[in-house]
Amino acid sequence: MAYTVSKLTDFSATALDSAVRDLLSALDQEAEGVLASKVAEPEHDAGWKKRWDEWKVFRDRWIARKNGITTQINELWLKAAPKETKREVGQQVNRLKGEIEGKVKATEERLQHQQWNAEKAVIESTPGRSFATYDEALKATQGVDITLPGIRRPIGAEHPVIKTMNEIIGVFRNLGYSVEEGPEVETDYYNFEALNFPPNHPARDTQDTLFIAGQDAKPPRDRLLLRTHTSPVQIRTMQKMRPPVRVVCPGKVHRNDAPDATHSPIFHQVEGLAVDTNITFCDLKGTLDHAMKALFGSNVKTRFYPSFFPFTEPSADVQISCIFCDGKGVRDGTPCRNCKASGWIELLGCGMVDPNVYGFVDYDPAKVSGFAFGMGVERIAILKYGVDDIQLFFSGDVRFLEQFG
């Protein structure tokens, strides 16, 4: 039978003692009852919630302000006590209140320890988790300590190479170009052959190539390599699109170059291709002149210098007037180091698509013409942002990278 507070009629010391004993033994029993129930492992969370609910019922039964047992003994014992016993009864009731509150608290703590121990056991039975000390396990199981400082997530910044790549793409998007991408591991066919580099042609030597190992059993054109330029995306694009074509192809490329301040075995390019009827070298010049002005400022001049690429004819290197000395070749009275006092900086390769290339993609060279260009992204970023070492782009040093945020 559940304990209820009896009305006292006899306020003698013996009667009071006996009532107090009854109460304390009920308190003990109920507390032990709260601590004795068990949680079946599969219902871990639900089980522990139930046990805490039981503890709350216990707590409220004993110390709820409204009609808890402590309130009841105040009413039924202290207030009902005749004047001459008030002092004695008051002392007993106060002591009891202290005991009851202490018991509720202690029960809470013991239950908490039971729960931590159970959680520790669950965690320790998980492979790979064990704790050297009990405290350590407790820490891991006690959940969130809201007094600890939070985990900061530093705000990221766009990588300068990606930022520059996006700027370049933006310039051409505004001219109506779309974006195409291709694989970084390419076949010999796309990287060289279809771009009019015949097998064993010396032009291949200008692009120190990293070949994928173990390809010898394959026919030469199927052998895999890390693409040395983004030009193979021209071929892939023309294979799947009929003219008119206007695309830019950004991406990562690799060459077998030893890293130094101006070389990196990994870098990025943006390729461009426009094929339509009646495209002329004038269109090429106008497009790239506009692009360079959009990237480096409208004061920049461009000049086209004869060059050679197997996949363009004629081919040119584009130079821009030096952005450091305004094309004068002299800065602060001394020869400009950035352009070696020439007033010009070489920036990219371009040309009219070689008719042979159309042969590889089934375009009719008698009907269409086009131009192509390819530029190094790091090289442009270096000039735009005044970076003096290409390795900084790949070292992952946040102090460098956050300057572009």
Which range binds ligand DAH by CB under 6 A, 144-152, 175-183, 370-378, 396-404? 370-378
Binding mask 170-209 for ligand DAH (x = CB under 6 A): ----------------------------------------
Query: Which range in 131-139, 141-149, 371-379, 392-400 contacts ligand DAH by CB under 6 A?
Result: 371-379
- For ligand DAH, the binding residue among 243, 251, 327, 349 (CB under 6 A) is 349
**H-state helical runs in 126-257:** 134-141, 160-173, 188-191, 232-240
Candidates 237, 312, 319, 321; binder of ligand DAH (CB under 6 A) is 312
| Residue 183: CB minimum distance to ligand DAH, A | 16
Nearer to ligand DAH, 172 or 309 (CB): 309
> Residues with Cβ < 8 Å from 4, sequence gap 6 or more?
none
How many positions of this chain bind ligand DAH (CB under 6 A)? 11
- Smallest distance, ligand DAH to C-beta of residue 373, A: 5
Minimal CA–CA distance to 357: which of 213, 263, 230, 239? Answer: 239
User: Tokens standing for 184?
Assistant: 């970084």
End-to-end CA separation in angstroms for the chain: 73
Please state the closest distance from residue 200 (CB atom) to ligand DAH, in A: 19
User: Residue 261 Cβ, how far from ligand DAH at the closest point, in Å?
Assistant: 20
- Which backbone phi and psi does 342 adopt, to 5 degrees? -90, -20
Dihedral sign (CA 21, 22, 26, 32): positive
Instruction: Choose, by CB under 6 A, the member of 357, 372, 377, 382 that binds ligand DAH.
Output: 372
Quick one: 373 or 393, whose CB is closer to ligand DAH? Answer: 373
Alpha carbon 174 to chain centroid, angstroms: 30
Q: How far is the CB of 269 from ligand DAH (least distance, A)?
A: 6
Measured from each CB, the residue nearest to ligand DAH is 374
CB of 376 to ligand DAH, least distance (A): 8
CA nearest 288: which of 308, 276, 273?
273
Task: Read off the DSSP letter of residue 278.
Answer: T
Q: Pick the binder of ligand DAH from 30, 373, 378, 390 (CB under 6 A).
A: 373
Contacting ligand DAH (CB under 6 A), which of 119, 180, 193, 271?
A: 271
C-beta of 11 vs 281, nearer to ligand DAH: 281
Q: Is 231 in the site for ligand DAH (CB under 6 A)?
A: yes
Angle subtended at Cα 220 by Cα 218 and Cα 225, rounded to the nearest 5 degrees: 90
Angle at 389 between CA 387 and CA 395, to 5 degrees: 105
- Return the SS3 of 365: coil
Contacts (CB under 6 A) with ligand DAH, residues 374-403: 374
Tell me the β-bridge partners of 335.
330
CB 55 within 8 A of CB 115: no
Q: Which positions ≥6 away from 74 have C-beta within 8 Å? A: 93
Q: Minimum distance between the CB of residue 312 and ligand DAH, rounded to whole angstroms? A: 4
Paired with 104 in beta bridges are none
CA distance 22 to 11: 15
**Of 59, 120, 229, 254, which one interacts with ligand DAH (CB under 6 A)?**
229
Per-state percent for the chain, helix, strand, coil, to nearest 5: 45, 15, 35
363 versus 373: smaller Cβ distance to ligand DAH: 373
Binding positions for ligand DAH, rule: CB under 6 A: 229, 231, 271, 309, 312, 349-351, 372-374
